[in-house]
A = this chain, B = another copy of it.
């Protein structure tokens, strides 16, 4: 999916919601546990319930990996089930020396490898250019690089001062030499609202993938006010708040209501903050 196609999808859906598929076998409603593949049965119901209100889905790879080989089967079936109109993110936070990153890139981008073809993958920046480059060699695919994450420990290194600027700003500027806004996005946590203005100055055109709204306490209003650019430039993720809105048989219906409430709030902010 291209930059323009993603923007068109946001305008069409009146939403920049990404639904996080952090599907934990231990949290799936009891009535689904007897299904042959409870994780896929859960995801399918969540996708059916929310597709109308979002533009992207983000399976969190840890949750599938923790189930061993059958988890990777659930992931493949889930990815196949997501409508082609929606942007897909493998939230894997990979990154290694060049030849190894090349294999991670094949895993998530080349369907002849592990049976998966995501639009994008999240990548950790610590190992630098040649750990990111192999992901960019897949035409039309996106790297979503960690910049300023939503967790408390994010401050341990990301906000350290390098030449008078925080490290995450250095990550933003250095990595723009590797790819432009048409191939790279950045992870910026919603809990870091103070940083959005600075980040927009350094990366005015890029899409930002924003976790941390909801369970982690970030404000959608603040993120939208300070983060939106002329192509929206935001994908705001919500996982637990939507997929675990209810633990009963009505989980999909409750997920739908949560997603719709966020979409309606986003429709308002698109009207309010998107330059006309």
Interface residues of A (CB under 8 A from B): 22, 24, 60, 62-63, 65-73, 76, 91, 93-98, 100-101, 103-104, 106-107, 113-116, 124-132, 146, 149-158, 160-163, 167, 170-171, 174, 211, 216
Known: A69-B70, A157-B171, A163-B161. A130 touches B152 (CB 8 A): yes
Judge whether A160 and B153 touch: CB under 8 Å. Answer: no
Instruction: For the complex, give the distance between the alpha carbons of A162 and B149 in Å.
Output: 19
12 A-B residue contacts at CB 8 Å? A62-B100, A62-B101, A93-B96, A95-B124, A124-B124, A124-B126, A128-B155, A129-B156, A131-B151, A160-B167, A161-B162, A162-B162
Cα separation A224 to B214 with both chains bound (whole Å): 50
Contacts of A98 in B (CB 8 A): 151
| Residues A128 and B100 in contact in the complex (CB < 8 Å), given A93-B94, A107-B66 | no
Q: How far is the CA of A58 from the CA of B209 in the complex (A)?
A: 33
Q: Tell me which residues across on chain B come within 8 A of A216, comparing CB atoms.
A: 97
Q: Give complex CA distance A50, B93 in Å.
A: 33
CB closest residue in chain B, given A102 = B62
**In the complex this chain forms, how many copies of it are found?**
2
Name the contact of A128 in the complex, choosing from B103, B128, B153 (C-beta under 8 A). B153
B146:A66 contact, CB within 8 angstroms: no
Is B162 a contact of A146 with CB atoms below 8 Å?
A: no
- CB neighbours (8 Å) of A103 from chain B are 24, 62-63, 65-66
Nearest CB of B to A89, in Å: 14
Q: B93 contacts A157, CB within 8 Å? A: no
The 6 closest A-B pairs by CB, nearest first: A128-B153, A128-B156, A68-B114, A69-B69, A62-B103, A129-B153
Chain B residues with CB under 8 A of A150: 97
Are B157 and A128 closer than 8 Å at their CB atoms?
yes
* Interface contact B113-A149, CB-CB below 8 Å: no
In the complex where A124-B93, A129-B153, A174-B157 touch, is A68 in contact with B76 (Cβ < 8 A)? yes
Find the B residue at minimum CB distance from A60: B100
Q: Which of B69, B96, B170 contacts A160 (CB 8 A)?
A: B170
Most buried by B among A95, A146, A216: A95
Establish whether residues A114 and B146, one from each chain, have CB atoms under 8 Å apart when the complex forms.
no
Across the two chains, which residue of chain B brings its CB closest to A71?
B114
User: Do B151 and A130 touch (CB < 8 A)?
Assistant: yes
Residues in B whose Cβ lies below 8 Å from that of A132: 153
When the two chains form their complex, are residues A107 and B62 in contact, meaning their CB atoms are under 8 A apart? Answer: yes
- Nearest to A72 among chain B residues (CB) is B69
